[in-house]
Amino acid sequence: MTGEAREPSGETGPLDGVTVLDASRVLAGPFCGMQLGDLGAEVVKVERPDTGDQTRGWTPPAYGDSEEAAYYLSINRNKRSFTLNLASEEGRDLFRELAAEADVLLNNFRVGKMEEWGLGYDELRAENPGLVYCSITGYGEWGPDKDRPAYDLVIQGESGIMSYTGDPDGDPVRVGVAIADLATGLYATQSVLAALLDRELGDGEGQKLDLSLLDSAVALDTYMAEAYFATGDSPGRQGGKHNNITPYQVFETQDGYAVVAVPSEHMWPDFCAALDREDLVDDERFATNSDRVEHRDVLDPMLEAEIAAYETDEIVALMQEYDVPATPINDMEDVFDHPQVRARGMRAKVDHPTAGTVEMPGVPMHFSRTPATVRSHPPLLGEHTDEILAELGYSRDEIERFHEDDVV
């Protein structure tokens, strides 16, 4: 990334020319690396020579008749795979060569490991002052818990997310995806982009970024945290309902469930009209959202009984006729057959050398001049090792020796 003006080709993403060295594994870091790759960056995924990223072995399910883990495939497109033994001195030397040419470095090793290897920020920035060095850990690089191992499930509990997720009379429930990891990947992507912009607008210096799963998950508490700060009471679990809005919830129907949302006052009369219950509009207990929340113990059962008389498709169509947001609860088949999802390119596919045609969620970022795209398949383990070594200037004989000595 030179900072020189370039004319967008209409075929490359906004990060075309940016090189990312992705030494992360599992989810938060690879998710960040994939987003940067989707945006056009050249992403080199550094993996252990023997097993690679742990998620390569997270089967079932595998894709089709291959041994490729669906989990791994979901977060590693638009990258090249470079196997490297960082436990060896020669491996670390090769890593330094790659880092010297990179714009961004991602890692999620435990606190202090990169410094132990001589690959910490201070060491690498001496050779590459413009490097944006992003470290992702469970609890961050300082504080009493910095050395604790962290996993998404633990963080969901520790951050408070599980305290308000689940049915009021049921057990605490984890969010179905690894939300702490994914949020950290998103925050890491934002941070990297901000640091690159600062570098380009400033003096050309990079900086170190410190992202943690716990910080990211606590940040997601948002209005639940603010409700606690405002009242001193921790919000409880509401299941498919909302603490601050009603009706804004999951309703059981004759044949399943429907989601109906009435988040603004002007929708309340329309919602009541759809149910042929205009009498509710004139009921002073339900005049405003605050009134409805206060009297939800009366209102909710009333509405649940009304909607239970309909089949899901009937109530959804009725609500949409009155311009009230509503939907069935889609499973993955429904989602990826959804006409809007297809129209927006959110069902993507790419050819893979062993798994055939691989489908995956598309890129949710749309640019008018510099499109973000799915350009290349999630790489096989070490698929690009020799290619990258050759780009570094190593001969065929030297590359063979690296393999023989288990350096790569």
Residue 7 has pLDDT above 80, yes or no: no
Residue 8 has pLDDT above 80, yes or no: no
Structural contact between residues 99 and 124, judged by C-beta atoms closer than 8 angstroms:
yes
* Domain count across the chain: 2
What's the domain range around 253? 248-330
38 in the same domain as 169: yes
Percentage, residues of the chain above pLDDT 90: 95
CA–CA gap between residue 10 and residue 7 (Å, rounded): 9
Q: In sequence order, what are the residues at sequence separation of 6 or more whose Cβ sits closer than 8 angstroms to the Cβ of residue 309?
A: 254
In this structure, what CATH number is given to the domain that contains residue 291?
A: 3.30.1540.10
195 in the same domain as 80: yes
pLDDT tens by residue, 304-360: 999 999 999 999 999 999 999 999 999 999 999 999 999 999 999 999 999 999 999
Q: For position 197, what pLDDT does the model report?
A: 97
Q: For position 11, what pLDDT does the model report?
A: 73
Edge-to-edge strands of the sheet including 248-252?
Answer: 248-252, 257-261, 326-328
- Indicate the SS3 state at residue 45: strand
Q: How far is CA 43 from CA 86, 105, 198, in A?
A: 18, 10, 21
pLDDT category at 9 given cuts 50, 70, 90 is low
Tokens 């992202």, residue located:
211
314 in the same domain as 169: no
Q: For position 6, what pLDDT does the model report?
A: 59
pLDDT category at 22 given cuts 50, 70, 90 is very high
Structural contact between residues 257 and 312, judged by C-beta atoms closer than 8 angstroms:
yes
In a domain, 55, yes or no: yes
212 in the same domain as 117: yes
395 in the same domain as 363: yes
> Measuring CA to CA, which residue among 28, 194, 220, 178 is closest to residue 109?
28
In a domain, 166, yes or no: yes
Domain C-terminal end among 284, 309, 330:
330
In a domain, 7, yes or no: no
88 in the same domain as 124: yes
HEC sequence for 50-99: CCCCHHHHCCCCECCCCCCEHHHHHCCCCCEEEECCCCCHHHHHHHHHHH
303 in the same domain as 271: yes
> Measuring CA to CA, which residue among 259, 258, 240 is closest to residue 167?
240
In a domain, 335, yes or no: no
Structural contact between residues 32 and 134, judged by C-beta atoms closer than 8 angstroms:
yes
In a domain, 193, yes or no: yes
197 in the same domain as 152: yes
> Measuring CA to CA, which residue among 154, 167, 264, 256 is closest to residue 213?
154
Per-residue pLDDT averaged across 87-100, rounded? 97
Domain C-terminal end among 330, 353, 369:
330
348 in the same domain as 399: yes
H helix or E strand, kind and range, residue 321: helix 312-321
168 in the same domain as 73: yes
154 in the same domain as 294: no
Give DSSP secondary structure letters for 143-184.
STTTTS---HHHHHHHTSGGGGSS-TTS-----SS-HHHHHH
CA–CA gap between residue 168 and residue 114 (Å, rounded): 44
pLDDT tens by residue, 113-164: 999 999 999 999 999 999 999 999 999 999 999 999 999 999 999 999 999 9
CA–CA gap between residue 7 and residue 347 (Å, rounded): 29
Domain C-terminal end among 309, 330, 351:
330
State the average pLDDT for the chain: 95
81 in the same domain as 185: yes
pLDDT tens by residue, 251-296: 999 999 999 999 999 999 999 999 999 999 999 999 999 999 999 9
In a domain, 10, yes or no: no
Q: For position 2, what pLDDT does the model report?
A: 46
- Indicate the SS3 state at residue 343: helix
Q: For position 129, what pLDDT does the model report?
A: 97
In a domain, 132, yes or no: yes
pLDDT tens by residue, 215-257: 999 999 999 999 999 999 999 999 998 989 999 999 999 999 9
In a domain, 1, yes or no: no
- Distance from the first to the final alpha carbon of the chain: 27
CA–CA gap between residue 187 and residue 164 (Å, rounded): 22
In this structure, what CATH number is given to the domain that contains residue 388?
A: 3.40.50.10540
For the stretch 100-134, what's the b/e string if a residue is b when 16 or more beta carbons lie within 10 angstroms of its beta carbon?
eebbbbbbbbebeebeebebbbeebbeebebbbbb
Residues labelled as active-site residues: 181
